[in-house]
Amino acid sequence: MTVVYEDNHIIIVNKTAFEIVQGDKTGDTPLSETVKLYLKEKYQKPGNVFIGVTHRLDRPVSGLVVFAKTSKALTRLNDMFKNGEVKKTYWAVVKNQPHEPEGELVNYLVRNEKQNKSYAYDKEVPNSKKAILHYRLIAKSQNYYLLEIDLKTGRHHQIRCQLAKMGCPIKGDLKYGSPRSNPDGSICLHARFVRFIHPVSKELIEVEAPVPTGNLWNGFEMI
């Protein structure tokens, strides 16, 4: 991880595609603990350091994760994420060109806990949740297309599932129909921008995460 923004109440990091945001059954060190350690060492803090997790980012996804450094910020940020007051923009690399260069996808997603996978439907079905995103084709390379995605809702695997439903699975995402995995186990989905009003100072916070290194992400020509 790399720290891209920090103040008294918030710390925002650019995570790699191997780090988990919160602890899970793998027992791997979560990003929340790495951030705690970073703060402990940076400020020479004795005892425990407070870090609040405000949202998730799937393990194989890279990009911006917002953590709270105070309980006051955590409570407010949790509400802001819940109410859609935090604008998150993602970049996704896909093999197939979308039929339309820009559009809004509306589907109904059903989550299968056992498979850790979501399924998209065109109409409402039992236990489904409405999922909305806006996509725009912004660049292309010799073999791939780069989509910019704004989430209107925050469902389980929403971008991965909806893009696959559209016929554009994300590069490396075997679970949702990509023919091949990426050598490093990542998928080519990156949380690129985050924008919100600071929960305490009320200033506008806008942060951008550099894309992962390598030829793939850097080989695009903007359209």
Q: Is the pLDDT of residue 25 over 90?
A: no
The active-site residue, picked from 7, 24, 28, 58, is: 58
89-107 pLDDT tens trace = 999 999 999 999 999 999 9
What average pLDDT does range 20-49 have in this prediction?
A: 90
pTM above 0.85, yes or no: yes
Is residue 171 within 8 A of residue 93, CB to CB? The reply is yes
46-58 pLDDT tens trace = 888 999 999 999 9
Structure tokens at 183: 């050598």
pLDDT of residue 116: 94
What CA–CA distance (Å, rounded) separates 98 from 22? Answer: 33
Domain residue ranges of the chain, discontinuous segments joined by +: 2-222
- Average of per-residue pLDDT values in the chain: 95
Beta bridge partners of 14: 2, 64
pLDDT of residue 24: 76
- Catalytic residue list contains 58: yes
Structure tokens at 91: 């970049």
Say which residue the tokens 């194989």 belong to: 60
Say which residue the tokens 């005892």 belong to: 47
pLDDT of residue 158: 97
Q: Are strands 189-197 and 62-68 parallel, antiparallel or unpaired?
A: parallel
CA-to-CA separations, 120 to 33, 41, 48, 190, in angstroms, rounded: 34, 45, 42, 21
What CA–CA distance (Å, rounded) separates 49 from 33? Answer: 9
Say which residue the tokens 């921008």 belong to: 193
131-190 pLDDT tens trace = 999 999 999 999 999 999 999 998 999 999 999 999 999 999 999 999 999 999 999 999
pLDDT of residue 23: 77
Confidence of residue 77 (pLDDT cuts 50, 70, 90): very high
Phi, psi of 33 (to 5 degrees): -75, -40
Q: What is the CATH number of domain 2-222?
A: 3.30.2350.10
pLDDT of residue 43: 93
pLDDT of residue 138: 98
pLDDT of residue 68: 98
Is residue 97 within 8 A of residue 119, CB to CB? The reply is no
